Chains A and B, each alone.
Chain A
Amino acid sequence: MTISLAPTPAPVRSPLQRATGGIRGTFTSPKYGPVLVTLILFVAVFIGGGIRYPGFFSGQVLLNLLVDNAYLIVLAVGMTFVILTGGIDLSVGAVVAMSTMIAASLLQSGWPAYAVIPLILLATSLLGLLVGIMVHYFKVQPFIATLAAMFLARGLCYIISQNSISISDPTFIALGVGRIPLGGGLSITPSVIIAVVVVVVAVWVLHRTRFGRTVYALGGSEQSGLLMGLPVARTKVLVYVISGLCSGIAGVLFTLYTLSGYPLTAIGTELDAIAAVVIGGTLLAGGYGFVLGSVLGVLVLGIIQTIISFEGTLSSWWTRIFIGALLLVFIVLQRVLTARRR
């Protein structure tokens, strides 16, 4: 029942189809095991919440997970591409903040929304391109290159403004507070549709295109990819461009969500994105993982937050501790699964 509400269930369902062949094999495979565990965890937490709190078992609670985390889903999609190649992108949180600042300041000075949004996407993709060039052509470690990008983006935020700028542009407000009714009293925001489109496109790119296969191949072994004549340079740079583009889209979605720009916003979001990708079963060494797993990871983080807000007495810092504990469990799980395969 919960699966049918996930955006596109194809790769998530495939382990279930294979289950007849050998449930054990699926659970212990580094490819499907962690995703399956995450799925079970999500369903268990949802059922547990439904038993414990009245009003939890509603479609809107589920849809609100998407509404509140649309930007994080898009971020996690971009991060999945990077991590699949064995890299990491620490700049995404700062780039989201930078996007909100660019949007808010340009809209304030009278720019139209249809010019602002492409400009943001262009700027963040360009930043991604620079990171990609540093990583591939100058052999700077992804960690350090994206760290520099993070400092740059965060610094630019402060240079644009040190205060919060609110947005009064009618297009942004319409997109931000507008609700699309789904019938039965359920509704979503336009952001959810954008996030779903991003996820669908990412799934298609990763599983149906040459580029996607090259991404997986690079994560498996860059050296082999090179020897097989795969376009290593282009793919590696493009992955960071995709992450930059996704951060830009996520930044726009975040701006729609908060309807303001603030330089201190989204601190630590890169960790949430990495955590979502890891919990979603993507191997940090690269090579294994699914975009839909990352979406599931975001939903697990989201449902923990929902539980904490339903509980009422638990303070917000428990969220961070829970996320840390979950990260630990999943990393150890991955470790065990990949070790058994070797």
Chain B
Amino acid sequence: MTAALARFVSNRLFWPLVMLVVLFLINVVAFPGFFTITMRDGNLYGSLIDILRNGAPTLIIAVGMTLVIATRGIDLSVGAVCAISGAVACSILLGASNPADPGVVAVAVLTAIAVGLVCGLWNGFLVSVLGIQPIIATLILMTAGRGIAMLITEGQILTVNSPPFKVLGAGFWFGIPVAVYIGAAVFLIAAALTRRSALGMLIESVGINPEASRQAGVRARVLLFAVYTFCALCAAVAGLILTANTMAADANNAGLFIELDAILAVVIGGTSLAGGRYSLTGTLIGALVIQTLVTTVYTVGIPPIATMVFKAAVVTIVCLLQSPTTNEAFRGFRRRLALRSGKGVAAA
């Protein structure tokens, strides 16, 4: 019994889950109707549904980010890629004679995704071919990307009116928000691709030691290209959802700070930024924790603007809990306890 408990506590997902449960409890206390899900016009509504729907873009980007971080990389440009993909989609819709035509919407969406693909290939090129540190390589697109997005929108906030496009961000299918389907699809595709094949293991091996894996016959360069491209693709999809939700492409503010939320989700989920090991389930929980935190701040009645302070607190607590120093201290404490109760040898 205690052994099973100890195994559960030492699981990577334990602390993120505890945090999620604590946040849920705070919500229920502050707002007893938190878990209620109501049916209106055949669509589901409720705080939980809101968390899933608003958390979808962060989750999508965080999934891509998890794979990048697993290769010991990082992608700072995702926010800028969001802005670019939104700008591309909106400018195509605005340029079309009938933005409500599903064909036009399909062209806009596919072009935006293709542009995301190009962004990802660019990042992949810098990291894997030129061998630039990932944080710096993606800093270039992060800096220039918003400029490019503004170039596409010509410095304006483009507002469009296209019901089929709006479905991506605010629509429902069978009562569940479309964004949730997209989030789930991205998550499942990533999980299936990396965990049902050896791909995940190869990604981890590149994260542990790129040179050694290359010599062992792993095509590190291709893998790096693949993860950065996938990450940018995720960012483009998230950008489309964000843009479709507001029906406006704002080059300056679309996806602002979303790279930080995504990295936060990955870190909360227990994936180490040092690379080599990752958990997509952890990232899913991490994204939920962040979105629930935002909702909690709203329901408890704290000014929403203070969310960032709470995010800072969460990052700090998670990092300190995961830090080797803390683990060492915990272990020493447990050993001392065991020694004191006279079972030192058995426990050690």
Contact = CB atoms under 8 A, between A and B. Distances in A.
A284 B133 contact: yes
Contacts of B95: none
Tell me which of B310, B312, B324 has the highest count of chain A C-beta atoms within 10 A of its own C-beta: B312
Contacts of A320: 143-144, 146-147, 150
Interface string A84-105: 0000100000000000000000
B137 A144 contact: no
B10 interface: no
Contacts of A284: 133, 135-136
Contacts of A332: 130, 132
B216 to A, nearest CB: 23
Contacts of B273: 141, 143-144
Interface of B: 74, 126, 130-133, 135-137, 139-148, 150-151, 155, 251, 256, 260, 263-264, 267, 273-274, 303, 305-313, 315-316, 319-320, 323-326
Contacts of A159: 303, 305-306, 309
Nearest to A137: B325
Interface stretch (A33-41, A54-62, A271-279): A271-279
A309 interface: no
A284 to B, nearest CB: 5
B151 A321 contact: yes
B305 A324 contact: no
A168 interface: no
A335 B131 contact: yes
Contact of A138 (B130, B260, B319): B319
B84 to A, nearest CB: 12
Interface in A312-342: 315-321, 323-325, 327-328, 331-332, 335, 339
B306 A147 contact: no
A152 interface: yes
Contact of A331 (B132, B142, B147, B323): B132
A331 B136 CA distance: 8
A122 interface: no
B155 A317 contact: yes
A141 B74 CA distance: 12
A317 B150 contact: yes
Nearest to B261: A151
A246 B319 CA distance: 26
A151 B260 contact: yes
A57 to B, nearest CB: 28
A211 interface: no
A119 to B, nearest CB: 20
The 6 A-B pairs at the shortest CB distance, nearest first, are namely A324-B144, A320-B147, A155-B309, A155-B308, A317-B150, A151-B312
Interface string A260-274: 000000010001001
Contacts of A274: 139
A51 interface: no
A339 B131 CA distance: 10
A134 B135 CA distance: 20
Nearest to B304: A158
